[in-house]
Amino acid sequence: MDGRLFRNLTENPNVRPMTAEALCRRTGVSPEEIRTFEQIRILHPIQKDKRKLFEEDDILFVECYGELRKIGYRRDLDFHPSAFILHRDFLERLVEEEGRILVSQVSGKVSLEQLIRMVEEGTAISNLMMGLIRKRLIVETVGKYAAEFPSEALPPPSSFGHAATTAETLNPAGPDVRLRRAKKRDHPCQL
């Protein structure tokens, strides 16, 4: 299925592959951090004409990481690329299990083309759904750990209490608008 699944990832003429140096200049992320992301198998540069280049998804990931830096996830607070090993490991297990379940449910029942379409289109939808679940869990977890912080360091209770968990807060624009935004990569670290 290599080359057939997610063909759209290599067909965006607006995003040219770039070197690590260019990626550092574009995002403010250090060369050491980019190397660490490569070492922990999160970034996957390609070799072209003896040059190592980063493609669209890697560029977007590093842009998002740069945005995390800008909002306060700093080195002096011990936020490092190695923290993403946890995410990669959990996601590898999740994707392996999802694949096992999908194959067991559709094997012999749909064509390869239908399976590819299901995976491509279903990925954007399930990523949005997982993001909503994660957001809800973060709200609950922040509420649980809030007691460990001095009161002057906490935001007003409504920013992590009941009001933040209402359907309007989690999805004010409705699911169709949120899904279209997710497909268009409508977020601060956008290509």
Extract the tokens encoding 44.
């996957």
Rounded to whole angstroms, the Cα distance separating 56 from 10 reads: 8
Is the Cβ–Cβ distance between 120 and 4 less than 8 Å? no
Residue pLDDT, tens place only, 28-69: 999 999 999 999 999 999 999 999 999 999 999 999 999 999
The H or E element that residue 16 is part of is none
Residue 22 has pLDDT above 70, yes or no: yes
- From 33-37, 88-92, 144-148, 149-153, the region with the lowest mean pLDDT: 149-153
Residue pLDDT, tens place only, 162-171: 444 433 344 4
Q: What are the boundaries of each domain within the chain?
A: 1-81, 131-191
Residue pLDDT, tens place only, 117-131: 999 999 999 999 999
Residue 160 has pLDDT above 50, yes or no: no
Placement of tokens 């200049």 in the chain? 25
- Say which CATH architecture domain 1-81 belongs to: Orthogonal Bundle (1.10)
25 confidence band (pLDDT: 50, 70, 90): very high
Is the Cβ–Cβ distance between 112 and 118 less than 8 Å? no
Residue 108 has pLDDT above 80, yes or no: yes
Extract the tokens encoding 152.
């002057």
pTM, entire model: 0.72
Over the chain, what is the mean pLDDT? 82
Rounded to whole angstroms, the Cα distance separating 151 from 95 reads: 40
Q: Which residue has the higher pLDDT, 164 or 133?
A: 133
